[in-house]
């Protein structure tokens, strides 16, 4: 299977090796095309964003105004702070020049002369690796003013790395822009959208690291080629980061639509100790979890996951075996979102606190069945009532975990029942629970 984003080429992170393997030829080609042509090709390729929402990349680029007296900007989102997501750092480490080349082509297509790569604050090692690749590209004339001569074009683009300071919320696109501006990482109310009013009030496009790294291959090999890989409605390969109770955790680049069970059992080596699976979160901790008996036939792409009431998110697959304490897991997830809430809107600021408090009560053996209903009510009151999608990120795991594992949680709140019995009760009864619908 051909890999697009993380090819199996030794030392491809080194500029000379990247050049020997056709590096920067896509940019050379792109600069001979019109910007409309590039946007059209990316639209037709079917590429959808890999940062969580799976939005059409070409369509997003087309929202940028053609004529404006303001500068335009590109922000590349490498904040990657969602628990269970650890794929963009592989690109920083193993294929940084393809990301840089993708940035040059994207910047050209949208008319940006400045691009920022926003990297998660804790990624010290990856900031250094990415900076080294960028310095080498500058020194060789592939980035900055020197690229005019190198590529024989009027276009040039400067790229800067901006390090975050450890806040998950700064991965949200408008908080990310505030952070780059030196302000507190507060998400902005939308509209206006970034293409109209983004960085410093100027037209801005924000894309994920993996999304942008696909661009050189689309320009080199054509949109038809890309659109035929994997599932037609969400084509290409996806970096799946598998963690939890598997024998071989790691990042696997596979065609979209690969079976979830194939990823877990064949690529990630199956479940440790051959245990059964209790629960899988398919796209990072904010996505609706799936029950162990729901996994058969589930394909990993945006449309297929919607059909089973979940979402592709960032492709971070978290596998939990039959002995997992789901109350502990959910309490930990709720703690994370409570801690990371920026506090601007009341439903999220207060609601995430209540979710954590109630779950702690259940963890401490002081919960009741009413608490389960209360959790679902609080989660439902956060959803759709906040400035940014951190509200949904906090609410979904709670609402769907409680709904889909109701028998498990009921067993845990009835005082006499311990963890083993709760897991057993669940495995006897879980086929009876109806699936809930996901609002996307």
Ligand X SMILES: Cc1cc2nc3c(=O)[nH]c(=O)nc-3n(C[C@H](O)[C@H](O)[C@H](O)COP(=O)(O)O)c2cc1C
Query: If we measure between CA atoms, which residue out of 400, 227, 234, 230 comes closest to residue 302?
Result: 234
Residue 173 or 322: the one with the smaller Cβ distance to ligand X is 173
- Tokens encoding 274: 């051959």
Using CB under 6 A, count the residues that bind ligand SF4.
Answer: 14
Residue whose structure tokens are 């683009």 = 157
Among 386, 401, 426, 438, binds ligand SF4 (CB under 6 A): 386
Residue 119 or 342: the one with the smaller Cβ distance to ligand SF4 is 342
80 binds, among ligand SF4, ligand X, none (CB under 5 to 8 A by kind): ligand X
- Helix ranges, 389-436 (H): 390-404, 406-413, 419-429
| Residue 344 sits in the site that holds ligand SF4 (CB under 6 A) | yes
| Residue 217 sits in the site that holds ligand SF4 (CB under 6 A) | no
Q: Write out the residues near ligand X by the rule CB under 6 A.
A: 49-53, 55, 60, 77, 79-82, 169, 171-173, 206-208, 211, 388-390, 393
- Tokens encoding 64: 């940028």
Residue 172 or 322: the one with the smaller Cβ distance to ligand X is 172
User: DSSP state, 69?
Assistant: S
| Residue 295 sits in the site that holds ligand SF4 (CB under 6 A) | no
CB atoms < 10 A from the CB of 138, how many? 17
**106 touches 207 (CB < 8 A):** yes
**227 touches 217 (CB < 8 A):** no
**Taking the complex as a whole, how short is the minimal distance between the CB of residue 77 and ligand X, in angstroms?**
3
- Tokens encoding 153: 């074009």
345 binds, among ligand SF4, ligand X, none (CB under 5 to 8 A by kind): ligand SF4
| Residue 398 sits in the site that holds ligand SF4 (CB under 6 A) | no
| Residue 348 sits in the site that holds ligand SF4 (CB under 6 A) | yes
Among 164, 198, 391, 397, binds ligand SF4 (CB under 6 A): 391
Distance CA 318, CA 103 (A): 30
344 binds, among ligand X, ligand SF4, none (CB under 5 to 8 A by kind): ligand SF4
Residue 137 or 175: the one with the smaller Cβ distance to ligand X is 175
Work out whether the CA dihedral 142, 146, 151, 157 comes out positive or negative: positive
393 binds, among ligand X, ligand SF4, none (CB under 5 to 8 A by kind): ligand X
Residue 213 or 304: the one with the smaller Cβ distance to ligand X is 213
Residue 159 or 382: the one with the smaller Cβ distance to ligand SF4 is 382
Give the CA-trace dihedral at 186, 191, 194, 200, to 10 degrees. Answer: -60
**109 touches 39 (CB < 8 A):** yes
**423 touches 435 (CB < 8 A):** no
| Residue 202 sits in the site that holds ligand SF4 (CB under 6 A) | no
CB atoms < 10 A from the CB of 385, how many? 14
| Residue 341 sits in the site that holds ligand SF4 (CB under 6 A) | yes
| Residue 286 sits in the site that holds ligand SF4 (CB under 6 A) | no
**194 touches 173 (CB < 8 A):** yes
| Residue ranges binding ligand SF4 (CB under 6 A) | 169, 187, 341-345, 348-349, 386-388, 390-391
């Amino acid at each position: 299977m051909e890999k697009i984003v993380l090819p199996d080429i030794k030392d491809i992170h080194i500029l000379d090796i990247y050049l020997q393997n056709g590096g920067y030829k896509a940019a050379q080609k792109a600069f001979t095309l019109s910007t409309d042509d590039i946007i059209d090709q990316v639209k037709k390729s079917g590429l959808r964003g890999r940062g969580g929402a799976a939005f059409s990349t070409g369509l997003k680029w087309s929202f940028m105004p053609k004529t404006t007296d303001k500068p335009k900007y590109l922000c590349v989102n490498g904040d990657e702070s969602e628990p269970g997501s650890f794929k963009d750092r592989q690109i920083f480490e193993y294929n940084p020049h393809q990301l840089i080349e993708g940035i040059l082509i994207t910047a050209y297509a949208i008319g940006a002369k400045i691009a920022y790569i926003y990297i998660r604050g804790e990624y010290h090692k990856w900031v250094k690796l990415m900076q080294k690749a960028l310095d080498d590209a500058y020194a060789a004339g592939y980035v900055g003013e020197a690229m005019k001569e190198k590529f024989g074009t009027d276009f040039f683009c400067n790229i800067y790395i901006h390090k975050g300071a450890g806040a998950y919320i700064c991965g949200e696109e408008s908080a990310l822009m505030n952070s780059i501006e030196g302000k507190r990482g507060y998400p902005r109310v939308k509209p206006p959208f970034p293409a109209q009013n983004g960085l410093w009030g100027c037209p801005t496009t924000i894309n994920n690291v993996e999304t942008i790294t696909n661009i050189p291959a689309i320009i080199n090999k054509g949109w038809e080629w890309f659109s035929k890989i994997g599932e037609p409605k969400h084509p290409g390969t996806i970096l799946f980061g598998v963690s939890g109770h598997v024998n071989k955790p790691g990042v696997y680049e596979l065609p979209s639509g690969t079976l979830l069970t194939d990823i877990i059992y064949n690529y990630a080596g199956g479940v440790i100790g051959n245990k059964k699976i209790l629960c899988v979160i398919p796209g990072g901790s904010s996505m609706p979890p799936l029950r162990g008996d729901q996994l058969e036939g589930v394909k990993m792409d945006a449309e297929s996951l919607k059909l089973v009431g979940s979402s592709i998110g960032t492709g971070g697959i978290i596998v939990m075996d039959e002995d997992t304490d789901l109350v502990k897991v959910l309490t930990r997830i709720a703690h994370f979102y409570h801690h990371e809430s920026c506090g601007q809107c009341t439903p999220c600021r207060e609601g995430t606190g209540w979710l954590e408090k109630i779950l702690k009560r259940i963890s401490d053996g002081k919960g009741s069945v009413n608490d389960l209903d209360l959790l679902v009510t609080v989660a439902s009151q956060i959803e759709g009532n906040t400035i940014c999608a951190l509200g949904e990120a906090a609410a979904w795991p709670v609402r769907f975990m409680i709904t889909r594992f109701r028998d498990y949680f009921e067993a845990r709140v009835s005082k006499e029942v311990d963890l083993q019995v709760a897991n057993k009760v669940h495995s006897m009864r879980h086929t009876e629970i109806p699936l809930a619908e996901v609002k996307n």
